[in-house]
């Protein structure tokens, strides 16, 4: 028995201030997502812009008061929960680094965001994040776009291709 599912909602997250070649790729992915939306393969596509990195767990960081920083940190935490729940890893696309201060001896941990990623939702349920990795390899934005173009999108198909 086949269960029909509504098409997913896709969030394209892009890093700000990227080089021209990367920006062109981000635009090309957005155009592909719009074509998939027009074809009914996805319900909606939104674009969110975030910075290069965010401090990990820094609730006292002065930047933590900024709405964009809070949103980026919250999204990353949602992605971490998804990865833990599904047995995926966000690395190497989301990479953690320790940065030192030139002024103090303080060191902070930051997570650096990929130049673009997709978060795929069924209603409010996060189904997948790409890029991601498993023991079997890395799943890219291009891989997921191919899944959407194949017309085989269902929650079960997403699960099988994770």
In the chain, what are the domain boundaries? 9-161
CA distances from 72 to 20, 43, 122, 134, 160 (A): 23, 23, 21, 23, 28
In tens, the pLDDT along 92-150 reads 999 999 988 788 888 888 999 999 999 999 988 999 999 999 999 999 999 999 888 88
Rounded to two decimals, what is the model's pTM? 0.85
In tens, the pLDDT along 56-95 reads 876 666 666 788 888 898 999 999 999 999 999 999 999 9
Instruction: Report the sign of the C-alpha dihedral through residues 113, 84, 142, 49, in that order.
Output: negative
Count the alpha carbons within 13 Å of 129 in the hemisphere toward its beta carbon. 29
Query: Among candidates 107, 86, 88, 85, which has minimal Cα distance to 98?
Result: 107
């Amino acid at each position: 028995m086949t269960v029909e599912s509504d098409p997913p909602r896709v969030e394209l997250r892009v890093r700000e201030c990227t080089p021209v070649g990367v920006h062109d790729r981000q635009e090309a992915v957005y155009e592909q997502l719009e074509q998939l939306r027009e074809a009914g393969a996805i319900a909606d596509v939104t674009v969110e812009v975030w910075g290069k990195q965010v401090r990990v767990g820094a609730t006292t960081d002065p930047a933590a008061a900024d709405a964009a920083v809070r949103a980026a940190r919250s999204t990353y935490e949602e992605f971490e929960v998804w990865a833990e729940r599904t047995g995926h890893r966000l690395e190497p696309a989301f990479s953690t680094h320790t940065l030192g201060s030139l002024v103090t001896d303080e060191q902070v941990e930051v997570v650096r965001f990929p130049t673009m990623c997709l978060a795929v939702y069924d209603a409010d349920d996060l189904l997948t994040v790409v890029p991601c990795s498993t023991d079997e390899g890395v799943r890219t934005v291009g891989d997921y776009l191919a899944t959407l173009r194949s017309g085989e999108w269902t929650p079960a198909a997403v699960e099988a291709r994770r």
